[in-house]
Structure 1
Amino acid sequence: MKALSIISGSSHPQLADKICSKLGTEKCKVVLNKFCNSETNIEICDSVRDMDVYIIQTSSNLVNKNFMELAILIHACKMASAQKVQKINVVTQGHIDDPWNRLNGVPLSEYQKEMLANLQYSKESYKLWASRSGKLVANILSVAGADHLITLDLHEPQFQGFFDIPVDNLHSHNLVCLCIKENIENYGESVIVSPDAGGTKRASIISAKLGIEFAMIHREKKANILIGDVAQRECILIDDLADSSNTIVMASYLLKEKGASKIYAVITHGIFSGDALQKIAASPLDVVYVSDSIPQDVHMQQCPKIKRFEVAQLFAEAIRRNHNGESVSMLFDDQ
């Protein structure tokens, strides 16, 4: 069996440390520097020759900096004769200033806002002058030397089609269920709520796994309609990401208006850009549980309602299975 090496970018070294701890291994020593003109300089200090290398990089907000760092890390490993370079991309925030992307703020893998815009291009004639960087970004990672991509909770599975290399999109369903069981005392009497129609499948899977009731919010132009009964019930909002947090905050006000006794939210990726944390603090939300796919220490300090659960075990198991040639299909659990 080939040796395994874990390399961390600068975006989330704590997550890489946790993954290494779960796998019982040490991180490969890497020196990341910036020249005075801001160019990225990377030195791989440990040998990765003939190893399978897994690079942990989650870009969150500094998408251009972290993406360039990732591409250079991949290329440096290939130049150092790594057998395979597996990129573990958790979540990243693209900041692309155009009307369609502001309407569809989907922070996922690098430039996923742009990828979503590309998918919807035919509907938007005013995009004739816009870039098509979704495929470009996928090509850059492939040309740099990435052989495999592992992601978590892609907003749209179609994004995998931009890549010519294998993409394993893990799901957080079991982690979300575990978070609910460990933190919400009377979860069996609560109601799982999807804050919009797009999240219905995700929320219904969680509802089925926990064996509890399900409700959803249908958003129309003039009103938001709650489908389901939440009066005098604890509600648990389920979503894959919170960026501006408008969706979960709006949902919390509607649930409170309909008589919910307590309102929780469980989110996979908590970006909380702009004044998101202030809106959450002022909302009827009692607690927002969010994974550590993005560093959450600062968010937790700024808003006491934010609590954290871990994703390291899921990624460690995906790495272990992939490295040993075992099936990872059980980690895509949709049932």
Structure 2
Amino acid sequence: MPTLNEPKLIAGNANLPLAKTISRRMSLHRGVDQDLVSARVERFNDGEIFVEVYENVRGEDMFIIQPTSNPANDNLMELLIIADALRRSSASRITAVIPYFGYARQDRRTKARTPISAKLVANMLTGAGIERILTMDLHAAQIQGFFDIPVDNLYASPIFALDVKAQFKDRMDDIMVVSPDVGGVARARELAKRINAPLSIVDKRREKPGEIAEMTVIGDVKDKICLIVDDMCDTAGTLCKAAQVLLDNGAQEVHAYISHGVMSGPAVERVTNSVMKSLVLTDTIQPTQAILGAPNIRIVPTAPLFTQAILNIWHGTSVSSLFEDKTLGPIYESLYASGSL
């Protein structure tokens, strides 16, 4: 089916480097100039957010690139206000590309008289005129059900699998994938299946919130290269302690693959001083200078995956095809061949 309208990209301030990289890759794929739509997204003196779109977007297929990372409230409001500006400018369809979906950890009531903030955010996004969501590694997959519009949830595991095969190509038989808790087993199992590796679990028990009383390794990690897999790293306390426990149980070395590098407070310092040989993050959240300067932290790009997903949505073709190595592999092969990763 021929596409009559053009895809156009617009970005808030949350992760401009990722948005610009997606724009460059789309220009390369399409063979036409695909710059970000010219707009200003700024704040008045009292903190109010103001958006002005300088280009005509009437009848266009609009993609807003804006993770709702720290500061989550400001970045969420930017996304909502950009969507409202585009809807009032007669865009034909508005897709929110949210590489990191903030408030995802508040997906259920954990105790009496608490909110389900992820559902509230879903209502706000649809109320602003957004008609489709494209995101990556939702903290809880059931958040997709909070929306009455299509939600495409991409996964970092195919990217991580390609990276593991490139980085450990001569030592794949020694690899052991580790989930840092029981709740993340499905995510870790997905990577383990892709690289044909065994799975282990670190069972943690808390006496009270924020404190980990005990960690137990389920599985034999002796002489293994352990890869801890999780969807986000916030303060890195659990991650660093899990790495130490794995080494104490005989692991040869420990690495970590994390989808979203929230990296709050002392996280970078903890990782730098930890026993982990490497921490691999994606760029769904714009890495700080401290992260980029850390000797044992490495960033893998998500722009190739998001670019192809945006083009597939625009063309009306399958997004789930990007979960397969045979589809995603060629997109990343050139990056590994050039040594840029």
TM more than 0.5: yes
Gaps of 5+ in 2: 28-33, 207-212, 326-341
Q: How does 1:173-322 map to 2 (within 5 A)?
A: 173-188=157-172, 189-220=174-205, 223-322=214-313
Distance 1:154 1:333, change over 3 A: farther
Aligned length: 309
**Cα shift at 1:131:** 4.1
SS of alignment partner, residue 294 of structure 1: coil
What's the counterpart of residue 125 of structure 2?
141
SS of alignment partner, residue 190 of structure 2: helix
Cα deviation digits, residues 148-181 of structure 1 (max 9, x gap): 0111001111112222221111111110111212
SS of alignment partner, residue 112 of structure 1: coil
Counterpart contact for 1:58–1:90, Cα < 8 Å: yes
Q: 1:57 aligns with which of 61, 66, 72?
A: 66
Q: 1:326 aligns with which of 317, 320, 332?
A: 317
Gaps of 5+ in 1: 92-108
What's the counterpart of residue 94 of structure 2?
85
SS of alignment partner, residue 251 of structure 1: helix
2:104 maps to a residue whose letter is Q
d(CA) in 2 for partners of 1:241, 1:12: 17
SS of alignment partner, residue 61 of structure 1: coil
Counterpart contact for 2:268–2:290, Cα < 8 Å: yes
**Cα shift at 1:183:** 2.5
TM-score (norm 2): 0.86
Distance 1:133 1:191, change over 3 A: closer
Counterpart contact for 1:299–1:306, Cα < 8 Å: no
SS of alignment partner, residue 113 of structure 1: coil
d(CA) in 2 for partners of 1:110, 1:288: 22
Distance 1:84 1:186, change over 3 A: same
2:14 maps to a residue whose letter is S
**Cα shift at 1:182:** 2.3
What's the counterpart of residue 95 of structure 1?
none
Distance 1:38 1:163, change over 3 A: same
Cα deviation digits, residues 62-82 of structure 1 (max 9, x gap): 011111111110010111110
Q: 2:22 aligns with which of 19, 24, 47?
A: 19
**Cα shift at 1:302:** 4.8
Cα deviation digits, residues 187-219 of structure 1 (max 9, x gap): 402211111111111112211211122222122
**Cα shift at 1:112:** 2.3
Q: 2:47 aligns with which of 38, 49, 53?
A: 38
Distance 1:247 1:233, change over 3 A: same
Distance 1:31 1:310, change over 3 A: same
Q: 1:164 aligns with which of 136, 142, 148?
A: 148
d(CA) in 2 for partners of 1:293, 1:258: 33
Distance 1:280 1:202, change over 3 A: same
Counterpart contact for 1:181–1:187, Cα < 8 Å: no
Q: How many percent identity over aligned positions?
A: 32
SS of alignment partner, residue 60 of structure 1: coil
What's the counterpart of residue 120 of structure 1?
109
What's the counterpart of residue 333 of structure 2?
none
What's the counterpart of residue 98 of structure 1?
none
Counterpart contact for 1:215–1:228, Cα < 8 Å: yes
Distance 1:195 1:134, change over 3 A: closer
2:43 maps to a residue whose letter is K
1:155 maps to a residue whose letter is H
1:4 maps to a residue whose letter is P
SS of alignment partner, residue 105 of structure 2: helix
2:275 maps to a residue whose letter is P
Distance 1:132 1:155, change over 3 A: closer
Q: Is 1:10 matched up with 2:19?
A: no
Higher deviation after alignment, 64-73 or 27-36 = 27-36
What's the counterpart of residue 338 of structure 2?
none
**Cα shift at 1:44:** 0.6
Cα deviation digits, residues 196-250 of structure 1 (max 9, x gap): 1111111122112111222221224553221222222221111111012122112
Counterpart contact for 1:171–1:333, Cα < 8 Å: no
Higher deviation after alignment, 152-161 or 211-220 = 211-220
d(CA) in 1 for partners of 2:139, 2:45: 37
**Cα shift at 1:88:** 0.5
d(CA) in 2 for partners of 1:255, 1:12: 34
SS of alignment partner, residue 323 of structure 1: helix
